[in-house]
Structure 1
Amino acid sequence: MARGHQKAQSQAKNLAKQAAMKSKQGHNANEQKKAALKALTFQCPVCRGMMPDPKTYKQHFENKHPKDPLPEELKDL
């Protein structure tokens, strides 16, 4: 019967360890999502796609929307 008791203790310990790891991981994922959203500063007026910098934004616009006129903020680049 000693092994049955050890098994139950081991399972309880493992369950607590996994719960702690899951809560820690979820917290970091939320922080990463918030940081990624802060980095995306330019929004395409046609498709509402988000871009991190003007160079990427201009490349996106030229490749995805070639028939549309270039927005004012990209004309000087």
Structure 2
Amino acid sequence: MARGQQKLQSQAKAAEKMAKQKKQQGHNANEQKKAALKALVFVCTVCKAQMPDPKTYKQHFENKHPKNELPDELKNVCP
């Protein structure tokens, strides 16, 4: 068990290490969020939902908006 100065040094070192880890985790989460938002390229013309690819967009449109006519950009997309 550490005592006195050794204990204070150990606590300071541990606190510094934790702060470094916390800062790094927050940075990675922000990068992941930005990358995910960049990947959402297609926007539904009816409800403004965002999708990553045209196939998903077509499935969304057929399931959520069956009464609406399929947009021109989705008519040639394979199911």
TM range (shorter): 0.7 to 0.9
Percentage identity across paired residues of the two chains: 72
Matched residue, 1:10: 10
State the SS of the aligned residue for 1:3: coil
- What TM-score do you get using the length of structure 2 for normalisation? 0.82
2:49 maps to a residue whose letter is: G
- CA displacement at 1:4 relative to structure 2: 4.0
Root mean square deviation of aligned Cα? 1.5
1:45 maps to a residue whose letter is: T
Runs (4+) off by over 4 Å: none
- What TM-score do you get using the length of structure 1 for normalisation? 0.84
- Which residues of 2 match residues 51-70 of structure 1 at below 5 A? 51-70=51-70
Where does structure 2 lack aligned partners over 5 or more consecutive residues?
Answer: none
- Matched residues, number: 76
